[in-house]
Amino acid sequence: MKRSLKYKLSSIVGLAVILVGYNQCVMPESNQKSAMKFSSKGTSTNSSTNNGAPESTYTSAEVKAISLAAFKKTVYPITTTRCVSCHGSTQTPLHASSNAETAFNSIIDNYKIDFNNIASSRMVLKLKNDHHNCWGDCAANATEMQNQITEWKRLINLEAPEATDTTNNVSATTTEETKTVEDILNPENAIDQGTITMMAESGSLRAPMEKATANGVSYIWAPEGKGLKTLTSVDAGLAYVNFKVTTSDFYKVWMLVDAPDQNSDSMFLKVAGSASIEWHIKLTKGFEWREVTSTTGFLDSPFYIPGGNAYGVDIRQRDDGVKISKITITNDPNFSPTAAKALKSTISVPLDHLSGVAGSMFDIDIEEYDMYSYKLSNPRIRTTKEFYVKTLKVLVNGSFNPQHATYLVVDKKVTPADSVLSAYSMILLKDKGPATDKLSFNFAHIKAEAPAAVTPPTPVTPNPTTPPAPVVTKLTSVKGFEQTLYPILRARCVTCHGANQPPLHSSANVDVAHTNVIETALVNFANIPASKISVKLKTNKHNCWSDCNANAAEIEGQITVWKNLSGK
């Protein structure tokens, strides 16, 4: 909102350099389990232990407990000693929280470690490459962090080796590989490292700055009603988005913004440690690209950035209601964000050799999310005839990372009129980088016939002289709930709904929590996306722990597994 002081501000409070958060859309229903996300498909089995003990079976909650205990002995002592001043309670991610489980969840949910490639873990690279708040020699600190992550994985594997299994385990129904991501986004190879684009939602945020999505566009903003802030306002929303350029030069900054009126058209900015500027945005009609300028006179504002180092774009709330979707930094004086680079592109691969339907194609949209990952969205199939698809895996350079689990729950009859496989996006970790990374797509089932239903075997009448064979039965509703949705509710909702505020769906007593979920109709097994507990996240943005749509997807995935386990 406008006030007379709006045009009297001229400098910005510097932000502490903080880690960039990831918001992976994950619905953990993979047969391939990872300690990065705990599958609730059933159990993790350890058939050989150091002492030759009999085979042991673990639920997903037990696997998480094993990993949490290992985390406390390895990485957690480093974060609580070295990172607590920023990431203890005020700045996301809270990987140095005094609550070990909160710190653990912050690392896991934001994909700060990669058990597939520990040396490429964000916790390591922030020290090694970005020199982020090192406590001594950055290379030595990175090695210390890498060693502790390695030990974390080793301790998990002593009890639950499947939890960090990295085998591909993919069927033969895999598409051909795409071109490199760089070629997909830049078909004419017109863009070099002098132009980079980041999604604003990839940044680390301080409330009231928050992430949101509307009409398929993700963005960050300080919602309307948060007021006009000054440079010294302690309650101003903040965002910090990392980037790196290779060439020392003068750079311009463009942003894809929605600045609808004079009450929502300004912010404070610093780029790569520059002096702060007060950016007044020329009003937009919806999301439009605007070049960053200085003052109300829209003065040209280039930034000199030395190449080779990691930097950040500091965004500080001034007006509320301004929405920021993407940030592009370029040293090209003639750059046009709508013409020079395909900021979002569609991958298309043929399916006819897999589906048996001539001309059928698989399409999925891709864009760069930040320095470390891509964002995939809107997976869909073009076809003239109906067929069935189930369990979509995205492979990077021929390998499947069990962290990339969003589309494992795909199970659909595709028709010419109904071809979208999922409404959710997925963050895909880069492997070797856009210049090298190629994608392919694997389906567990892609045929004209529906996948065979999995049914328990028919009980056999026992012979009086032989012991009866074990009969596979469905779990009770309470047991299914305990292995799927309950761990999320206990981790995410316990502060309010554990004992104090009804419904008590996070109660320490699993029977009480189950009863509250059922009796208050928080889940809808007939129409899982319409479940109240999911709608509260994706529509009402109720206490989301990261991206609301991703959180809703995780909830829906666990309800789906619960339904399958319990035969509902």
| Cα gap 51→151, rounded to integer Å | 20
Q: What is the full DSSP assignment across 180-246? A: BHHHHH-TT----TTEEEEEGGGSEEETT-EEEEETTEEEEE--TTS----TT-TT--EEEEEEE-S
pLDDT for 55: 42
Q: What is the pLDDT of residue 45?
A: 41
Q: Which residues lie across from 164 on neighbouring strands? A: 34
pLDDT at 63: 78
Q: Which residue carries 């990691």 as its tokens?
A: 310
Whether residue 364 contacts residue 423, with contact meaning beta carbons closer than 8 Å, is answered with no
Q: Locate 156 and state its tokens.
A: 């998990």
Per-residue confidence (pLDDT) for residue 158, from 0 to 100: 86
| Count of other CB atoms within 10 angstroms of residue 230 | 15
Position 509 scores a pLDDT of: 85
Contacts for 505 with CB less than 8 Å, ≥ 6 apart: 489, 493, 497, 513, 516, 517, 520, 522, 533
558: DSSP letter:
H
Specify the DSSP class assigned to residue 470: P
Q: How far apart are the first and last CA of the chain?
A: 51
| Calpha distance 319→304 (Å, rounded) | 27
- Give the whole-angstrom CA distance, residue 305 versus residue 303: 6
The pLDDT tens digits along the chain (568 residues) read 433 333 333 332 232 222 233 333 333 333 333 334 333 333 444 434 333 333 445 666 777 888 899 999 999 999 999 988 878 876 777 888 899 998 998 887 676 887 877 887 888 988 888 788 889 898 999 999 999 999 998 998 888 765 665 445 556 789 999 989 988 887 554 445 578 888 898 888 888 999 888 887 889 999 999 999 998 898 999 998 888 887 888 999 999 999 999 999 999 999 998 889 999 999 999 999 999 998 888 888 899 998 877 788 999 999 999 999 999 999 888 888 775 444 678 899 999 899 999 989 999 999 888 777 888 999 999 999 999 999 999 999 888 876 787 898 899 999 999 999 998 888 888 888 888 899 999 999 999 888 876 555 555 555 555 555 444 345 678 888 888 888 888 888 887 888 777 888 888 888 888 888 988 889 988 888 889 899 888 888 888 877 788 888 888 888 888 887 777 6
Angle at 485 between CA 390 and CA 424, to 5 degrees: 45
> What Cα–Cα distance (Å) separates residue 128 from each residue in 76, 120, 309, 369?
19, 10, 11, 21
User: Cα separation of 568 and 565, whole Å?
Assistant: 8
Dihedral sign, Cα of residue 226, residue 230, residue 235, residue 236: positive
- Between CA 113 and CA 243 the distance in angstroms is 19
Residue partners of 281: CB distance under 8 A and separation at least 6: 257, 259, 265, 266, 267, 290, 322
CB burial class (10 A; 0-12, 13-18, 19+) of residue 54?
Answer: exposed
Report residue 411 as tokens.
């199970």
Q: Mean pLDDT for the chain?
A: 79
Three-state secondary structure call for residue 258:
strand
pLDDT at res. 222: 94
Rounded Cα distance, 557 and 547, in Å: 15
The DSSP secondary-structure symbol of 332 reads -
CA dist 483 and 62 (Å) reads 9
Q: Measure Cα distances from 368 to 243, 405, 424 in Å.
A: 12, 19, 16
- Counting other chains too, the contacts that 298-303 makes at CB distance below 8 Å and 24 or more residues apart are 301/252, 301/253, 301/277, 302/250, 302/251, 302/252, 303/250, 303/251, 303/252, 303/253, 303/271, 303/272, 303/274
Q: Name, in order, each residue with C-beta under 8 angstroms of 339's C-beta and a sequence gap of 6 or more.
A: none
In this structure, the number of other CB atoms found within 10 A of the CB of residue 214 comes to 11
**Biggest alpha carbon–alpha carbon distance for the chain:** 95
Collapsing DSSP states into helix, strand and coil, what is residue 46? strand
Cβ atoms of 396 and 409 closer than 8 Å: no
Q: How far apart are CA 21 and CA 84, in angstroms?
A: 16
Of 227, 207, 220, 77, give the one whose Cα is nearest residue 152.
77
- E strand residue ranges, 397-497: 399-400, 411-414, 426-429, 439-447
pLDDT digits (tens, 9 = 90+) for 303-340: 999 887 778 899 999 999 999 999 999 988 888 877 54
Q: Are 343 and 317 in contact (CB under 8 A)?
A: no
Residue pair 293/232 in contact by the 8 Å Cβ criterion: no
Give the H/E segment covering residue 330. Answer: strand 323-330
What is the SS3 assignment for 251?
strand
Rounded (5°) CA angle 121-326-216: 100
